[in-house]
Structure 1
């Protein structure tokens, strides 16, 4: 009964988003691509406050993956406005990628506020195709709140493995689908058609940990958590790191 109700409510939600779907198909959603970076930049401050301890714990050992020269090259996929910069170790070199070029002006603000880092370049590219980043050229890859909105999670992970040097690490923090018995799961599936447009392609029903478990990393350190004080449908998170 609950499953039937969920499907019916999801169908209603999908019907309500048909105008947005038509706008996307016809290219009229382009204006939102310009607006979304501003929204994301402002949300960053609230999210970082709520997730400060979790992010600090996640990135606490990034420095140990420095290469034999003692330097650390870090690639962030879907860097957005640079929300993770305060948590990176002093002196590391950061390469940024994001498919939305309109993030650049907000990214510059974060760079100015985090002088403890060295910034290499900002590459406008999707996570599925980072051809400007050479094979085995980085020590660490970071991806937070990004795998929910990429087209092909497995292809992104394949690209991560390609650019990581042997022994390098991939750090992740992602919201994921809840347990099927929960009401959060119910509302995730009902609201996803609308959330997709609000979140610029964000999917709230992905079981991303399954892709990580089958990705072929030599080690996987993964923990499932409930994010504090965030919107209920994105409370279930996974965090951790994998070693190539």
Structure 2
């Protein structure tokens, strides 16, 4: 019984330390809270696309094999005439374009209009695709997209920063054709026994602002399990060589 009590005591101490450190981090971010409240933080949204564009090169290099594996069977959801309409939620600068099958038509959405400049750069570099339109909207509100009009929807490193994950997944189901697929690659909260979990909770208040709303403590797989898709193919992985805070990932696809 003594070792069990000691283990329980250590867990409580670790939890208390985590909460204290998180509070200290939160206090350090108070100026950022003030900036958001006064509207000054909006200036960062102009800068963030440039930062994201540059970070994308490093992330894609490290995750190249993972992404290639993720998107390897997208083509099987094409129509009998070979056409495939794909919509990407939170497309950012178009980091996934090179992994999409030749000839598919891509619709891009993002809530930040300042990504368009960098998005065009990747469009110019990926001539194997046909680009439909760029819609400035959130994943929770895609009213411009018709019901059951898409064969594939893609979302990578986006569900961490939306305001309502379940609402986004409801929209995905609405716009997908029956039998269509939703592909995802997202960083998630780590196992509570790990130090990664500790640091995710401690530094999340600061990470939230640096990552333009990114939450590193979401258990997004639970939202996917509850979303009502007919099939869910999901794997938990540890992303190689990326920042400790976002190393735990989930990847896969679900079918409507």
Instruction: Pick the TM interval, shorter chain.
Output: over 0.9
Within 5 Å, give how 1:1-244 maps onto structure 2. 1-244=13-256
Q: After TM superposition, what 4+ stretches of structure 1 lie above 4 angstroms from structure 2?
A: none
Instruction: Indicate the larger mover: 65-74 or 76-85.
Output: 65-74
Inter-partner Cα distance in structure 1 for 2:119 and 2:145: 19
Structure 2: gaps spanning 5 or more residues = 1-12
Distance 1:230 1:215 in 2: 29
Structure 1 Cα separation of the partners of residues 38 and 102 of structure 2: 45
Q: Quote the Cα distance in structure 2 between the aligned partners of 1:29 and 1:21.
A: 9
Give unmatched runs, 5+ long, in structure 1. Answer: none
Alpha-carbon separation, structure 2, partners of 1:242 and 1:135: 18
TM-score of the superposition, structure 1-length normalised? 1.00
SS at structure 1 position matched to 2:190: coil
| Deviation for aligned residue 1:225 | 0.2
Aligned residues: 244
Higher Rg of the two aligned structures: 2
CA displacement, residues 23-69 of structure 1 (integer Å, 9 cap, x when unaligned): 00110011100000000000010000000000000000000001233
CA distance in 2, matches of 1:237, 1:219: 19
Note the aligned Cα RMSD (angstroms).
0.4
CA distance in 1, matches of 2:124, 2:82: 24
TM-score by length of 2: 0.95
Instruction: Write the deviation string for residues 187-221 of structure 1: whole angstroms up to 9, x where unpaired.
Output: 00000000000000000000000000011101000
